[in-house]
Structure 1
Amino acid sequence: MNATVTINEAQSFAYGDEFSLLDSMEEHQIPITYNCRGGYCGRCKVQLTKGKVSWVQDSLVPLDEGEILVCCCVPDGSISLAI
């Protein structure tokens, strides 16, 4: 799926077919804090401000409404994130 990912309303990049948003962010050199890459630590938690995502693996940390782990999901169309 091709989608546009906007970060902090300032920077955008095209999401291709990477396994997760984290993989795509790394590919586009978007700085993001992470540790486990598997939904265990919660370090890559960001706020989804627009759009929807699909989860490719379960998050094992509690999330508030609108929060996602970029290691665990992919966009369902264009999205906006607040980091």
Structure 2
Amino acid sequence: MKMDKLYIIHLDEDTQLACHQDKTLLENLEAHKVEVHFHCREGFCGACRTKLLDGQVEYITDPLAYIDDDEILPCCCKAKSDLKIKLS
């Protein structure tokens, strides 16, 4: 049986959430009842664009929406390390 790796998502100084490696970042945030603006869930629209302050993600689908070098699309990426993000 494969064990799911857990990473920590830091939203601010006081908020830390467990993040399952087998789910997208958006799915993990939703599981913790964190409100994230999104539309497509596939990297097309860019509505979930989020600042990545620290950490690494991997994309399960190449994003088609425009993002800056310091931004990620939670709908189509998974954590590869602990993350520090800033939600809009």
Q: TM-score range by the shorter chain?
A: over 0.9
Question: d(CA) in 1 for partners of 2:44 and 2:60?
Answer: 14
Larger radius of gyration: 2
5+ residue gaps, structure 2, are: none
Q: CA shift at 1:18, angstroms?
A: 4.0
- Secondary structure class of the residue paired with 2:46: coil
- Listed as ranges, the gaps of 5+ residues in structure 1 are none
Indicate the percent of aligned positions where both proteins have the same amino acid.
29
Normalised to the residue count of structure 2, the TM-score between the two structures is 0.87
Matching residue within 13, 20, 25 for 2:24: 20
Contact (CA 8 Å) 1:20, 1:71: kept in 2 or not? yes
Tell me how far apart the structure 2 counterparts of residues 44 and 9 of structure 1 sit (CA, whole Å): 22
* Map of 1:39 onto structure 2: 43
User: TM-score w.r.t. structure 1 length?
Assistant: 0.92
Q: Name the structure 1 match of 2:60.
A: 56
Does the 8 Å contact 1:9/1:80 carry over to 2? Answer: no
CA distance in 2 between counterparts of 1:71 and 1:65 reads 17
2:7 is matched with 3
* Runs (4+) off by over 4 Å: none
